[in-house]
Structure 1
Amino acid sequence: MVTDAQATPAGGLTAAQVARRVAAGQVNDVPRRSSRSVGEIVRANVLTRFNALIGTLFVLVMIFGAWQDGLFGGIIVANSAIGIVQEVRAKRTLDRLAVIGETPVTVRRDGADAEVAQQQVVLGDLILLGTGDRIVVDGAVADSRGLEVDESLLTGEADPVRKAPGDPVQSGSFVVAGSGGFVAAKVGRDAYAARLVEEASRFTLSHSELMSGINRFLVYVTWLIVPIAILLFASQFGATGGVGNAVVGAVAGVVTMIPEGLVLMTSIAFAVGVVRLGRRRCLVQELPAIEGLARVDVLCVDKTGTLTEPGMDLDEVVVLSDALPGRRALAALAAADDDPNATMRAVQEGLADPDPGWKATGTVPFSSARKWSGTEFDGNGSWVFGAPDVLLAAGDPARARAEEIGATGLRVLALARVPDGSLAAPDALGGAEPAALVALRQRVRPEAAATLRYFAEQRVQVKVISGDNPASVGAIARALDLPGAGHPVDARSLPEDTAELAEAMERNSVFGRVGPQQKRAMVKALQAKGHTVAMTGDGVNDVLALKDADLGVAMGSGSGATRAVAQVVLLDNSFATLPSVVAEGRRVLGNIERVANLFLTKTVYSIILAVLVGLVHIRFPFLPRHLTLISSLTIGVPAFFLALAPNSERARTGFVPRVLRFAIPAGIACGVATFAGYRLAAANPATAFEEDSTTATLALFALALWVLLLIARPWNWWRLGLVAAMGAAFLVVLAVPWLRHFFALRPDNLRNDVIALAISAVAGVLLVLVLRWDARFGRAQGR
């Protein structure tokens, strides 16, 4: 085992050493868990509680009844097949995107630096680190050039930890400043990252209000099935005098109670959402993120990388003092930085001055908490480069000049000389002598304005939270027509109290000079006001806020740490993808609620019919094949189309109460009207059971089709066409003799059929009145 930095030379492992470690299994072979395996998908879709229950009922019908009454057994095959196909499609999309979205690791082998996949890191590898890099295995520091590591995801402590050679580093942490390297001492399942990666990237349905609500429905139904099945069997045995008829009647009543397609339709809608977003180069790392997208009402964006593109261009260098060699010092700083961030790269690329050849003797790397970096040069003093309002005194004319330039939308940084030895205590820096101002031109994303307009139209508030100068941030926000951009706020003046901070967040839209901890506090303050908050970002200063937000969205070009904690990664780095992401979430959630109304209505009317029949001790009005026909045409087929249809309605909390407020009155109307029509038909001893059950079938189908029409609102051509097609399909069954015979339908008694349809019509009108009263009452109560 490799346990210390000295076991690996400065040039890294050789190719032969790497090969030996791979052969010995000393490789970071943590499996990529972006989705379930195919075997797990098959087991999860076949070995379900519903399949077991429906399979048992199917066997009973095959033993005691006619094979036509076992049609509902096809539900097992259909549910399992559709679920498997859709989830395998989603798995392939996720696995492909996970490979694209995974951050490579830089290692040194045979004296040369190379990028390898995380799974290709071996024990003893010398891994190189720069700002923003995520530490993927455990080890010991071999080289440190101002290396600072954020271990907050492991320890909860937010302060960066300085790392010197020999200090341990643990997977799950990330670099916030400086650069260096460490030797991998624990890889694969031995590393702490193995558990973090598996938990963070697994494709799961957990922590979902939607799935929790559906599971509650399923628990309620499970409790009711056993007593109702016993009641039905006893009543059917007494009414028909035969075990076979009793079993068939009991099965017909129980099988309809089971909302067998609800979980399937939910899984399909989620899986299709993942596939659709995948086509837009959007990686959904956790399935509940689809739901979170729909509930977002506040979007916090970091200016850099979101409203603006990552790169910048040098606009001008304003020399403030002829007594100081400002331009030469700036060129020396640029040349001395071997791990430049976007700001320093812009200076390196745009500065015409040559490297003066100054020798650096000490450095303080840039950090988002300090907002400056510094270098001490042998014989040429100590220089710092960073935010003017941090480095310069409040009354300094250079600071006022920086504010003027920043108000035009340029990003302004100050170059200043500090007393020798100051960099040894960076937290107490003082005595800065301004030498120059550096103005950088930021590249505004061309799609940003249209994207902000979309969110304004959708009533989603956008808050710009940036570490840059408030005036500069405000200028860019105004150029993009963001509401409230005219009053940018310096976050250093904001209160720490959560309630007061929340009020400030509600009143304003643009915030500058926000530190990493303050971003986190802002997210928590908005959540405390009842908002569902999404946070976008690409830098290490965004990690804590991304982790605490209801939905974290990272740019594909962002740091490895940022992409690791986000639920959604925009692989094409396009802010314009976000409207599609939000729209997909709303489509999924709105449609699942619509589908749940259908399935729960069926469950309620099944319970009503079963209880009424059991109490009155008459024969159950339906054979299983009748209910299979009704369920297929009024629930199964329509639900499939409704679950995948466009839907832009913003999601609301209270999924369970809202569904029950529709399903209970609709189910009661269907159950009571059907029972009344059947009871009137069965009162005539001259009619056969097939005629009476046909009357009940007509009554239930007519009312169930009316319920489908209500659920399909708002109406458009294809929704009305779908309802009409289902009605036409039922008429075809009645018109074609062999289909009529197959489903045991005899619409011979016109009088009874007309009376039953009239009862259904009255029940339909009463249902509409009840729903309207509930909607009006709900508005009055502020629901």
Structure 2
Amino acid sequence: MTAVVSAGLSDAEVAQRVADGKSNDVPTRAARSVSEIVRGNVFTRINAILGVLLVIVLSTGSLINGAFGLLIIANSAIGIIQELRAKQTLDKLAIVGQAKPLVRRQSRTAPLLPSEVVLDDVIELGPGDQIVVDGDILEAANLEVDESLLTGEADPIAKAVGEHVMSGSFVVAGGGAYRATKVGREAYAAKLAEEASKFTLVKSELRSGINKILQFITYLLVPAGALIIYTQLFTTDAGWQESVLRMVGALVPMVPEGLVLMTSIAFAVGVVRLGRRQCLVNELPAIEGLARVDVVCADKTGTLTENGMRVSEVTTLDTSGVAEVLAQLAADDPRPNASMAAIGEAYRMPPGWSSTATAPFKSATKWSGTSYGEHGNWVIGAPDVLLDPASPAAEDAERIGAQGLRVLLLGSSDRPVDDPEAPGTVTPAALVVLEQRVRPDARDTLDYFASQHVSVKVISGDNAVSVGAVAGSLGLTGETMDARRLPAEPEQLAETLEEYTTFGRVRPDQKRAMVHALQSRGHTVAMTGDGVNDVLALKDADIGVAMGSGSSASRAVAQIVLLDNRFATLPYVVGEGRRVIGNIERVSNLFLTKTVYSVLLAVLVGLAGLSAKIFGTDPLLFPFQPIHVTIAAWFTIGIPAFILSLAPNAERAHPGFVRRVMTSALPSGVAVGIATFTSYLLAYQGRAASQVEQTQASTAALITLLVSALWVLAVVARPYEWWRVALVAVSALAYVVIFSLPVARELFMLDPSNVVTTSTAVGIGVLGAVAVEVIWWVQGAVLGETRRLWRTPER
């Protein structure tokens, strides 16, 4: 270790640099500010469309028909509130889970938040630490840094005093200290870090699917909208006010005003729910992505077993003084890992030897050591790496490891540990047996994944036999393999991974290759881990899940951080993802069915208007005024959609979101649209109709629409539970109340007094509902999906 060359800055120097703006002021999360959240939710494309239509309606003097303008306020307010809640939750969790560099100052050395680092601060480094700002090395002891996340260079780089380190890289071995030379937005990885931590829906399969659907709707809106505008304004004899109101009544329901809003709310509420379970979601699509995962690669240490260890037994093989050596090795390790910390706890009296050379532990080599001059060269590490596997000591270690225990070999080497040929020939001195406790909730978690047909691969750097024993004790079936026998060729590696379940002695580069191999077979892979050796695999997996107590580097690259270090939290994350995906699919069916029948009605009325222009027949007014489509959306879509988007939903996520939604919404929308248009045609009295007769025709069309649209809700709410049935029943009852109250009929321009017309409308609505029901069953048969009316207890 090089000598300590700096005591760090004084408090006065720190204060001066803060005053000069020379602090590391990069936001911990690139979340939108409050003002950006407000602007982003108010100034949307849908609000703009509705706003223009609102102005047009208000120009006619009909205030009640402008009621749909409340959607602008509701959409904006709900979106703002939910995103602010999610932002608050994320920001609080991000501070808890944030990497805290160890900063050396004249007053003290203490972990600080990255934002508290200032220019010229001295920052100490150890294995697993993330480098938070750019700087120059002041002290180094076998320091090796992995810069692959920045440069793509896979091999760790040895760093000497005077060399430069970049933010975004991390320490894989050794220790040291560096002086901050670039902080804040000048640091190399500042922009990359901001982009990686955004509160965003980017890369979400669900969001991209909805965008495709909205693009499709746009293609429908333009011709249908143009047609209805032309026919209502230029082919009817109604006054301009009536024509404008009917035109707006056609255009408003075409806009799926709540679809994007409901998606954002579902994600935001998911973040808040997971936050209550101490789960930090660095990227929102991770909630959705983990619901699609079909392979979970779990590290043993810290995931299936608890981090803490204790020395269970030390078997002396060939020398005395083992206790002194172990105590000295533990005392000389400035950043002990869990194994060395357990040894230090058991052996507290080092003899005070002076080291002449050190070799830090590396995941790639599986050993560490120190040379003590006349007291010898001592190494400690994996017995099957340091010894011939056929030697008696290695066989003893294998036998002990088969019981699920971790075994380290203490041995003396014939050469200094910093020799290029180290460890050389190792003479075994003792076997150190360490005991790890299996997490009490690990078995239940593995059982859950098994029940959901999610494969679990245990990937560990420990001895393969020991890893297999732990996995077996948790009920995980399958063969175990020593990763040193893994094929290098990707296709063969993928085949091996399909066959085996548990892997030991896995190097960091192999973990990454294993993730790639599984992905090449079409698997969606989640990787869990807590150590520096997991970082590359966490980064490349579809979903990286880090433990809160793990290395700062692993937490920095993961999409999800389990701050409570409980592997058992993962099923809740999976469940939250399934809730989001399943519920948004339901909500999308409702909104898109409305868009389809609205566009179809506009096209049919428009074509009737064109035929009237050509053949001189009676033109058709659009059946609805804006207030009619507003109340129609209240209880067939708006309120039920909001409730359904937040409801429990444990159904498995399936690919093909866009195909399924469009396949369901298109035929249902066509059935509702045709039924509504037919009812209107039968009730319509032509150009000479009185205002009362026109209102009765519009009311008849609305009744048919409500009956058939309510059945769309009844189908979307399946499989039924008591509260889903109650939701449909209350929605239907709400319309019965509206039609029953004289004040509501007058306010909403309804007239169901013509018994024949109203009865006909109800009958056609029932036929539309029957068509929707038949479509649902036929789709299930065609797509091979099991249709269930009621939710069974196990689902």
TM band (smaller chain): over 0.9
Partner of 1:646: 648
State the Cα deviation string for residues 15-63 of structure 1 (Å, max 9, x = none).
2221221221111111222521100100000001111110000111111
Assess, with a 3 A threshold, how the Cα gap between structure 1 residues 780 and 699 changes in structure 2: closer, same or farther.
closer
Partner of 2:98: 102
Secondary structure (helix, strand or coil) at the match of 2:360 reads strand
Partner of 2:784: 779
> Does 2:364 align with 1:369?
yes
> Does 2:723 align with 1:728?
no
Relative to the length of structure 1, the TM-score reads 0.96
Partner of 2:522: 530
* Shift in Å, 1:9: 5.1
CA contact (8 A) 2:370 2:417 kept: no
Secondary structure (helix, strand or coil) at the match of 2:418 reads helix
Secondary structure (helix, strand or coil) at the match of 1:557 reads coil
Aligned counterpart for 1:451 among listed residues 445, 454, 470: 445
State the Cα deviation string for residues 88-130 of structure 1 (Å, max 9, x = none).
1111111111111112121111163222211111111111001
Partner of 2:616: none
Aligned residues: 771
Partner of 2:621: 619
State the Cα deviation string for residues 248-299 of structure 1 (Å, max 9, x = none).
1111111100000011111111111111111111111111112112111211
* Shift in Å, 1:706: 0.3
Partner of 2:424: 430
> Does 2:465 align with 1:471?
yes
Partner of 2:612: none
CA distance in structure 2 between the aligned counterparts of 1:240 and 1:270, rounded to whole angstroms: 48
Letter in 1 for 2:69: G
Secondary structure (helix, strand or coil) at the match of 2:254 reads coil
> Does 2:334 align with 1:338?
yes
Secondary structure (helix, strand or coil) at the match of 2:672 reads helix
Segments of 5+ residues of structure 1 without an aligned counterpart are: none
Secondary structure (helix, strand or coil) at the match of 1:509 reads strand
CA contact (8 A) 2:134 2:167 kept: yes
> Does 2:414 align with 1:419?
yes
State the Cα deviation string for residues 341-375 of structure 1 (Å, max 9, x = none).
111011111237x3222221001100111111011
Aligned counterpart for 1:328 among listed residues 292, 299, 324: 324
Aligned counterpart for 1:281 among listed residues 278, 281, 284: 278
CA distance in structure 2 between the aligned counterparts of 1:505 and 1:597, rounded to whole angstroms: 39
- TM alignment of 1:46-57, pairs within 5 A: 46-57=42-53
Q: Which moved more, 1:163-172 or 1:765-774?
A: 765-774
CA distance in structure 1 between the aligned counterparts of 2:369 and 2:526, rounded to whole angstroms: 34
Partner of 1:209: 205
Q: Which moved more, 1:355-364 or 1:587-596?
A: 355-364
CA distance in structure 2 between the aligned counterparts of 1:497 and 1:406, rounded to whole angstroms: 29
CA distance in structure 2 between the aligned counterparts of 1:86 and 1:112, rounded to whole angstroms: 42
State the Cα deviation string for residues 373-429 of structure 1 (Å, max 9, x = none).
011111122121111111111321111111000001110111122212453115x64
Partner of 2:790: none
Q: Which moved more, 1:41-50 or 1:11-20?
A: 11-20
Letter in 1 for 2:552: G
Partner of 1:632: 634
> Does 2:551 align with 1:559?
yes
Aligned counterpart for 1:264 among listed residues 252, 261, 265: 261
CA distance in structure 1 between the aligned counterparts of 2:15 and 2:271, rounded to whole angstroms: 38
Letter in 1 for 2:644: L
CA contact (8 A) 2:708 2:772 kept: no
Secondary structure (helix, strand or coil) at the match of 1:440 reads strand
Secondary structure (helix, strand or coil) at the match of 1:184 reads strand
CA distance in structure 1 between the aligned counterparts of 2:685 and 2:192, rounded to whole angstroms: 67
CA distance in structure 1 between the aligned counterparts of 2:491 and 2:763, rounded to whole angstroms: 59
Partner of 2:456: 462
Output the aligned Cα RMSD.
1.8
Partner of 1:489: 481
Partner of 1:574: 566
CA distance in structure 2 between the aligned counterparts of 1:748 and 1:280, rounded to whole angstroms: 56
CA contact (8 A) 1:54 1:76 kept: yes
Secondary structure (helix, strand or coil) at the match of 2:570 reads helix
* Shift in Å, 1:616: 0.8
Secondary structure (helix, strand or coil) at the match of 2:622 reads coil
State the Cα deviation string for residues 222-270 of structure 1 (Å, max 9, x = none).
2332322221122123123432222211111111000000111111111
CA contact (8 A) 1:28 1:120 kept: yes
Partner of 1:90: 86
Letter in 2 for 1:110: Q
- TM alignment of 1:681-696, pairs within 5 A: 681-683=683-685, 688-696=693-701
> Does 2:509 align with 1:504?
no
- TM alignment of 1:310-321, pairs within 5 A: 310-321=307-318
> Does 2:661 align with 1:659?
yes
CA contact (8 A) 1:449 1:480 kept: yes
Partner of 2:594: 602
* Shift in Å, 1:326: 3.6
CA contact (8 A) 1:363 1:374 kept: yes
CA contact (8 A) 1:234 1:246 kept: no
* Shift in Å, 1:66: 1.7
CA contact (8 A) 1:366 1:373 kept: yes
Letter in 2 for 1:267: S
CA contact (8 A) 2:202 2:285 kept: yes
CA contact (8 A) 2:146 2:157 kept: yes
> Does 2:763 align with 1:758?
yes
Partner of 1:513: 505
Aligned counterpart for 2:376 among listed residues 377, 381, 386: 381
Aligned counterpart for 2:303 among listed residues 299, 303, 306: 306
* Shift in Å, 1:757: 2.3
* Shift in Å, 1:499: 2.2
CA distance in structure 2 between the aligned counterparts of 1:421 and 1:373, rounded to whole angstroms: 12
